[in-house]
Chains A and B, each alone.
Chain A
């Protein structure tokens, strides 16, 4: 049953975006860890020991601890979310490690994700990408009956595949160019797949891609490391689709104010 292990733990400590940061050796706090504990529970234990030793606890983001909120995320031994495939850091369990194993824990590294403290980064850039077009405009109370437009099961399933992205940012951390293409393409793919998403399709695609660039994310050069790191197994096929949608949008899209009788609203 409950075996325990000792780890050689190195954690990145950084006081704020301007601090240079460094690894600290916390092996003395990382002994006797239950293999049934989750990775974050392991860090909780380390943190309680640090505090009792008058040291500030390691800051890391987390909330649901069920792999769904997308709040957690750190690089463990060079891999975003650690060694287990399709698993967020909070769902990684200590049974994945051997006693005596060396652990190097650090934050997502990308210039578009400044470090707030230690393992916590600012993912505000993701928010702004969504705000640029990751929605369908539908005022509350104005919707037609939900069954008015049938949607083929295969199409709904596919949209759902893309919609499962949790917005964690591991794809960016994994990418040598720090591109957020996988994240962005998942949202574009979800909405562009659905009949309800067609009206704003071109505008959405162009605006989100433009915002992605503005935030300083790199572009995709087909390394596929994002897909391997993604805890929700979002497929890189969505990037290909996004590129297709981008091409067609670039050809056909005219903002409303350029059309005769347009609504005069500006777009990004």
Chain B
């Protein structure tokens, strides 16, 4: 299979403009004849659905929550990047592009990244127009801060609730189009399969989460804005409902899954407190602007009251190892260094399975310098959240933090037009793989979601529809009935097993997550990856014989929903490990112990400067070795010179 990015060539600054100028258009009167399905109402989905609706397309949007406003984008705290250069500190579209390619460790497509940087400036304009109350300076202009790894202040924010405010902006946009009858919005409704006929995406099968009913929805184009798959790890900073089902089902229908092993671990999360833990909470990394990361130099100090540990006995490991960037080191390095010091026995906090997994994030110096009030103004709600969760007061006791899974750079493969290899199936936001390479920079996911939704989808969908025309598939088409039946069969089977089962869905999910975290988390090596590739199918077999469910499939059944998602996580988790094993190099967040120099990634550009895009050849849960085929999209770097990242 040849993977064509369809990215324009020529000078990078003008690629998107030229592409837009050449793109095919649908005439206004015809737009309302076209139906577009948008699965997901996060930043990518809500912005995309509303923008397409305003252009005149008939849009149907779906989310699994009870309201579009609750998509997981709501939880983003820190901010959104844009190359506005409002601070006059030397930022530019080119610099944001450059930082993103470099930050992604040269595993993203230059053309896509440039476009992202370019439209970033429009996002802020659009959001202000929608009423997003970004932070402002006293003169009334927009405020910015510097964020994880950036040396310019290009991050826009709304207290520690940037994602909330951006999503509420996009949601209100969507709400207006719903009120105007342009969007049919279905909440508590989950996509459980993709319908493909004659190689084109034709629609989706959904399960109504209240009634348990399966429904078919047909359209001329299907867009997935369904977010990331971080919950494959069970413990992550994602919302409990975040899942990979939409993307995975599309994958099983032929869509290639790209770079599944590129998952990001966030350095500043609240450490796990016990077995019952259901999720991990992120403390925005903007905290690293003022907090100093340290652990005791001596093991015997690890259980002591931190305030009693003398300055000389504290190991400010990021500041010492990386004086130029210090506490603002990129996420992957900051995370691995935390794991490294904890593995050496210098961690703090509760001991779980023999290791203390926590490091201090200390604000004492910042409070001394700027005063408690200024710190409270900057991080008040984060401090409150920390205190609610841990029962400790971070104004007087240093926070304890530890890395947790946070974001997935991998996702469905898309070309420059955000279209997967299945014509008519588009993927936007975190669900696609396209812009962040092997590591995402802070405050760039919100940017990507809104860029895709507001400014890319409206063009590329028209371009596709103008060429492909209306889909002729009807409810009685063979592909539709077959897909519907298969889907129903899949859930019925789970219910059948569940009647006699003995272990809860969460129990399986926790075990699966544990395997993946231990072997395909912050550090990976071939031996462990091979072990995981053996263990996962075994656990999956147990799942398919002993999972326990109650109730019925034809009504609200939360455990059945979860079981469907966990079933997909099993397959995706295995693919992640295979991808991590095959990628015989380290890059960005993919850290292979056997390819490192002093704890830093050693890439192999000769062999791996490509996107790995996996094709599903398996059939059913029995899938074994050899059922996956790995395709490659070669990456070329014409503008940013490939170099080993160096932050020293």
Taking Cβ atoms with an 8 Å cutoff, the residues of A that contact B are 1-2, 34, 36-38, 40-41, 44-45, 48, 51-52, 54-57, 59, 61-71, 84, 86-87, 91-93, 95, 116-117, 122-124, 126-127, 130-132, 134-147, 149-153, 156-157, 159-160, 163-164, 166-167, 190-191, 194, 196-197, 268
Q: In the assembly, what is the distance between CA of A50 and CA of B159, in Å?
A: 41
Q: In the assembly, what is the distance between CA of A71 and CA of B137, in Å?
A: 33
Q: In the assembly, what is the distance between CA of A51 and CA of B126, in Å?
A: 48
Segment among B31-39, B61-69, B197-205, B339-347 that sits at the interface with chain A: B61-69
Q: In the assembly, what is the distance between CA of A134 and CA of B174, in Å?
A: 11
A2 CB contact (under 8 Å) in B75, B124, B129, B350? B350
Given A116-B210, A152-B140: A140 touches B72 (CB 8 Å cut-off): no
B165 CB contact (under 8 Å) in A131, A137, A160? A160
B67 CB contact (under 8 Å) in A127, A136, A156? A127
Chain B 55-94 residues near chain A, CB threshold 8 A:
65-67, 69-70, 72, 74-75, 84, 86
B497 at the interface (CB under 8 A from A): no
Q: In the assembly, what is the distance between CA of A123 and CA of B165, in Å?
A: 20
Could you give 27 example pairs across A and B, Cβ below 8 Å? A36-B391, A38-B389, A41-B277, A51-B548, A62-B240, A63-B240, A65-B281, A66-B75, A66-B281, A66-B282, A69-B239, A70-B69, A116-B210, A123-B66, A135-B176, A136-B131, A137-B176, A146-B127, A147-B142, A150-B139, A152-B140, A157-B133, A160-B158, A164-B159, A167-B67, A167-B70, A190-B131
Chain B 77-132 residues near chain A, CB threshold 8 A:
84, 86, 122, 124-131
- Which has the most chain B C-beta neighbours within 10 Å: A44, A131, A196? A131
Segment among B428-436, B482-490, B550-558, B591-599 that sits at the interface with chain A: B550-558
Chain B 501-518 residues near chain A, CB threshold 8 A:
502, 504, 506-507
In the bound complex, residues from chain B placing their C-beta under 8 Å from that of A147 are 86, 141-142
A196 CB contact (under 8 Å) in B84, B129, B178, B454? B129
10 A-B pairs with least C-beta separation: A150-B140, A135-B172, A143-B129, A138-B129, A131-B179, A140-B51, A143-B125, A160-B133, A63-B239, A146-B128
**How far apart are A74's CB and chain B's nearest CB, in angstroms?**
14
Q: In the assembly, what is the distance between CA of A137 and CA of B174, in Å?
A: 10
Given A2-B350, A59-B558, A140-B47: A156 touches B458 (CB 8 Å cut-off): no
**How far apart are B174's CB and chain A's nearest CB, in angstroms?**
9
Q: In the assembly, what is the distance between CA of A37 and CA of B279, in Å?
A: 11
Nearest CB in chain B to that of A4: its residue: B274
B158 adjacent to A48 (CB under 8 Å): no
**How far apart are A165's CB and chain B's nearest CB, in angstroms?**
9
The secondary structure that dominates the A interface is: loop
B16 at the interface (CB under 8 A from A): no
In the bound complex, residues from chain A placing their C-beta under 8 Å from that of B502 are 52
A65 adjacent to B278 (CB under 8 Å): yes
**How far apart are B108's CB and chain A's nearest CB, in angstroms?**
25
- Which has the most chain B C-beta neighbours within 10 Å: A45, A48, A95? A48
B179 adjacent to A64 (CB under 8 Å): no
A36 CB contact (under 8 Å) in B47, B51, B274? B274
B172 adjacent to A134 (CB under 8 Å): yes
**How far apart are B175's CB and chain A's nearest CB, in angstroms?**
5
**How far apart are B3's CB and chain A's nearest CB, in angstroms?**
30
A36 adjacent to B273 (CB under 8 Å): yes
**How far apart are A45's CB and chain B's nearest CB, in angstroms?**
6
Q: In the assembly, what is the distance between CA of A160 and CA of B160, in Å?
A: 11
A135 adjacent to B72 (CB under 8 Å): no
Interchain Cβ contacts within 8 Å, total number = 220
In the bound complex, residues from chain B placing their C-beta under 8 Å from that of A37 are 273-274, 276
B276 adjacent to A130 (CB under 8 Å): no
B645 at the interface (CB under 8 A from A): no
Q: In the assembly, what is the distance between CA of A122 and CA of B210, in Å?
A: 10
Nearest CB in chain A to that of B68: its residue: A127
Given A55-B550, A63-B72, A66-B385: A130 touches B504 (CB 8 Å cut-off): no
In the bound complex, residues from chain A placing their C-beta under 8 Å from that of B24 are none
Given A37-B274, A140-B51: A71 touches B75 (CB 8 Å cut-off): no
In the bound complex, residues from chain A placing their C-beta under 8 Å from that of B69 are 70, 130, 167
Q: In the assembly, what is the distance between CA of A69 and CA of B238, in Å?
A: 12
Q: With A141-B122, A153-B136 given, can you name 4 additional A-B contacts, CB distance below 8 Å?
A: A37-B276, A68-B164, A157-B133, A196-B130
Given A63-B241, A69-B74: A138 touches B67 (CB 8 Å cut-off): no
Q: In the assembly, what is the distance between CA of A195 and CA of B352, in Å?
A: 53
B605 at the interface (CB under 8 A from A): no
A138 adjacent to B389 (CB under 8 Å): no
In the bound complex, residues from chain A placing their C-beta under 8 Å from that of B558 are 57, 59
Q: Mark B267-288, 1 if CB is under 8 A from A, else 0.
A: 0000001101111011000000
In the bound complex, residues from chain B placing their C-beta under 8 Å from that of A151 are 136, 140
A131 adjacent to B175 (CB under 8 Å): yes
Chain B 562-599 residues near chain A, CB threshold 8 A:
none
Q: Mark B128-164, 1 if CB is under 8 A from A, else 0.
A: 1111011111111110000000000000001101001
B74 adjacent to A68 (CB under 8 Å): yes
**How far apart are A44's CB and chain B's nearest CB, in angstroms?**
6
B455 at the interface (CB under 8 A from A): yes
- Which has the most chain A C-beta neighbours within 10 Å: B51, B138, B550? B550
B617 at the interface (CB under 8 A from A): no
Nearest CB in chain A to that of B241: its residue: A63
In the bound complex, residues from chain B placing their C-beta under 8 Å from that of A132 are 179
